[in-house]
């Protein structure tokens, strides 16, 4: 347990180091008018904090920098409550004021806004198809025996496929086919399209529709959606890493940039996935992925209907402005949750 004086010194070192990226010395802290401590007293406390593992001392400097243990203590116990500036709040409100008809586009924009607001790299996972339910299906003719089939989920995600129809199918039968599918599939999880619901619906359509094979083909098309569309990963501000002093060594940052470049296949989903409520902070070695052991990953889930459907996260150096990033991430995850639930409510009407 740290004393109040040690907590004050550790907090000041973290905040000074975040701003300057330079080791913090006792003289720097003694100039803080809130301290009322001599440089000698501060040096003694800094030595004790180093012995306890909360500070490190680079061999080239008399100053100290926070250790990963020090950052963890700061995040858990010391970070102040901050007020976001009005421009950040306006940017968020503008983003989520947009129509939610195309969720993937909004989620992609979220990664860009997050990176802009935090000045770090942002990762956003698109809504997981496996958690979504079918809201409705439309079929729009686009020419002789061709149509565009549109599937809308309860989260507002829209998928479309071009389909081939039988030459002699009537518009009345197309309407009956769509009506039957919407009646039986509304509220059905995407993952059940290939299960018993699919088989039951196929049997019913075979007995009521002359061209039931067209409807079966349509279901087959949408049955492939989970494999294609789950796990979308959007990266905003990947090059922000190069602006951090810690990552100016190209050899050091290359594995991280490669992970971000190959976002869909590099395991980046697991890095920011959060299943429970609240903000999750992983500092340095707390990250399982070796590529991220000089980084901090802060992540949060967003939900629809009370269930987590996606995650968003910030990747940056351990020398991070924790208070600001946590507040921004919390605000964005809540705003995205509200927007998705409003979309669900609108779809249910």
What's the confidence (pLDDT) of residue 226? 44
CA 129 to chain centroid, in Å, comes to 15
Domain extent at residue 343: 86-128+232-348
The residue out of 45, 78, 111 marking a domain boundary is 78
Percent of the chain with pLDDT over 70: 83
The residue out of 229, 262, 278 marking a domain boundary is 229
Do residues 71 and 119 share a domain? no
What's the confidence (pLDDT) of residue 342? 72
Mean pLDDT of 185-212: 75
Do residues 148 and 115 share a domain? no
pTM for the full predicted model: 0.72
**213-230 confidence digits (pLDDT tens):** 877 777 777 766 444 444
Report whether pLDDT(143) > 80: no
Do residues 40 and 163 share a domain? no
Do residues 139 and 94 share a domain? no
Strand bridging mode 158-164 / 233-236: unpaired
- Who wins on pLDDT, 27 or 212? 27
Mean pLDDT of 18-42: 87
Distance CA 193, CA 284 (A): 42
Do residues 343 and 282 share a domain? yes
**194-206 confidence digits (pLDDT tens):** 665 667 777 777 7
Q: Are 318 and 283 in contact (CB under 8 A)?
A: yes
**75-127 confidence digits (pLDDT tens):** 999 887 767 666 666 766 666 665 545 666 777 888 988 998 899 999 998 77
Do residues 250 and 330 share a domain? yes
Q: Which candidate, 5, 110, 22, places its Cα nearest to that of 60?
A: 22
Do residues 44 and 22 share a domain? yes
Give the torsion sign (CA, 18, 21, 27, 31).
negative
Q: What is the CATH number of the domain that holds 257?
A: 3.30.450.40
Spell 75-87 as b/e; 16+ CB within 10 A means b: beebbeeeeeeee
What's the confidence (pLDDT) of residue 229? 44
Mean of the per-residue pLDDT values for the chain? 82
Distance CA 256, CA 120 (A): 13
> Hey, is 78 helix, strand or coil?
helix
Domain count along the chain: 3
Cβ of 168: how many Cβ atoms within 10 Å?
9
Question: What does the radius of gyration of the chain's CA atoms come to, in whole angstroms?
Answer: 26
Q: Which candidate, 1, 4, 5, 11, places its Cα nearest to that of 44?
A: 5
Q: What is the CATH number of the domain that holds 177?
A: 3.30.390.60
Q: Which candidate, 23, 159, 179, places its Cα nearest to that of 101?
A: 159
């Amino acid at each position: 347990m740290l004393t109040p004086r040690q907590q004050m010194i550790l907090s000041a070192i973290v905040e000074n180091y975040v701003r300057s990226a330079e080791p913090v010395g006792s003289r720097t802290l003694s100039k803080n008018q809130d301290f009322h401590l001599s440089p000698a007293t501060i040096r003694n406390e800094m030595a004790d904090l180093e012995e306890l593992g909360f500070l490190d001392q680079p061999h080239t400097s008399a100053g100290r920098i926070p250790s990963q243990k020090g950052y963890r203590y700061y995040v858990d116990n010391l970070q102040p409550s901050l007020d976001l500036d009005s421009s950040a709040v306006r940017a968020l409100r503008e983003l989520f004021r947009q129509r939610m008809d195309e969720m993937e586009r909004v989620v992609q924009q979220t990664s860009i806004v997050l990176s802009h607001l935090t000045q770090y790299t942002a990762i956003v996972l698109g809504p997981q198809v496996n958690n979504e339910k079918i809201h409705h299906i439309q079929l729009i003719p686009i020419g002789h025996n061709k149509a565009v089939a549109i599937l809308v989920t309860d989260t507002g995600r829209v998928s479309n496929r071009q389909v081939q129809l039988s030459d002699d199918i009537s518009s009345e039968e197309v309407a009956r086919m769509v009506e039957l599918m919407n009646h039986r599939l509304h509220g059905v999880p995407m993952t059940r399209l290939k299960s018993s619901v699919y088989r039951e619906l196929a049997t019913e359509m075979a007995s009521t529709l002359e061209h039931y094979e067209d409807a079966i083909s349509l279901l087959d098309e949408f049955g492939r959606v989970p494999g294609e569309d789950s796990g979308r990963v959007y990266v905003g501000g990947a090059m922000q890493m190069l602006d951090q002093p810690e990552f100016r060594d190209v050899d050091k940052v290359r594995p991280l940039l490669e992970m971000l470049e190959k976002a869909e296949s590099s395991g980046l989903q697991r890095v920011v996935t959060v299943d429970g409520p609240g903000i999750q902070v992983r500092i340095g070695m707390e990250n399982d992925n070796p590529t991220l052991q000089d980084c901090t990953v802060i992540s949060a889930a967003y939900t629809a209907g009370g269930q987590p459907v996606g995650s968003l996260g910030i990747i940056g150096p351990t020398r991070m402005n924790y208070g600001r990033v946590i507040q921004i991430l919390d605000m964005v995850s809540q705003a995205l949750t509200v927007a998705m639930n409003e979309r669900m409510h609108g779809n249910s009407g």
